[in-house]
Amino acid sequence: MTVKSLSGIVFSIPGTMRRMADLMDKSAQSNDIRQLAASLLEGEAAGTLKKSHADTIFKYVQERIKYIDDVDQIETIQDAHVTLTNGFGDCDDMVILLGSLLRAVGFPVAIVAAQMTGFEDYNHVYLMTYTDQGFVSYDATNKEQAPGWSLPSDMVVKRLIMVIAPRGYLSGTDIDTLKNDRTIIEYYVPGGFNLSFWAYAAAGIIALYFIFKKK
């Protein structure tokens, strides 16, 4: 599946997830996002990966941000500050905001793209966060569900999970909890060297070469 941005650039789903990871990384380092995340914990010490802390940040995004879909046929991806200012966004915008706030206080996160039954390709994205109770799913688009809820397995055809950390950052046992026969796992380090990125880039260059060669 490919996604067209407002600028007209076409991205693959992994490419879109990498853009989301980069925006998340940039926003997480900004002082206002860090101050907001810390204020939501009401003075409690961050860095302990407490699920209760992640739940608090999740509820803030879930309650504050209204779901509004993208422009028809065009994917708009905005950073955390824009989503906060607007007070609305779609699933990927909520993932960027939530992931930025969680990463700002030390939580490792993973972006999850899901293909739901009845759809031809990936059509939804949500967040997973590593806590003192293992990986927890957070889907802020669903305003009625508690922290930990994610799409039921009978509604999901396949998932692509992009762990925003170097390979080996989390133990193999932790990662094994994410795996099943319908899941692909990639690792992405914002600003770092990513083999998967260059593999996709090389494939794109080769494809363009043959397209123009035929002309």
Q: What is the pLDDT of residue 171?
A: 82
Interacting residues of 68 by C-beta distance below 8 A, sequence separation 6+: 88, 89, 90
CATH number for the domain running over 2-214: 3.10.620.30
Q: What is the pLDDT of residue 166?
A: 78
Q: What is the pLDDT of residue 6?
A: 38
Helix (H) or strand (E) holding 187: strand 183-187
Distance CA 98, CA 84 (A): 10
Distance CA 81, CA 116 (A): 29
Helix (H, G, I), strand (E, B) or coil at 55: helix
Distance CA 102, CA 129 (A): 8
Distance CA 139, CA 147 (A): 8
Distance CA 213, CA 119 (A): 34
- 114 pairs with which residues across the strands? 124, 159
Structure tokens at 194: 């990513």
| Tens digit of pLDDT at every position of the chain (215 positions) | 334 443 344 457 888 898 899 999 999 999 999 999 999 998 666 668 999 999 999 999 999 999 998 776 666 788 999 999 999 999 999 999 999 999 999 999 999 999 999 988 888 999 999 999 999 999 999 999 999 999 898 899 999 999 988 778 888 878 888 887 778 888 887 766 565 555 555 656 676 666 666 65
Maximal C-alpha separation, the chain:
63
Domain boundaries, the chain: 2-214
Q: Which residues of 138-147 are buried (b: 16+ CB within 10 A; e: fewer)?
A: bbbbeeeeeb
What ranges in the chain are assigned the alpha helix state H? 13-28, 31-40, 51-64, 80-86, 91-104, 172-176, 195-214
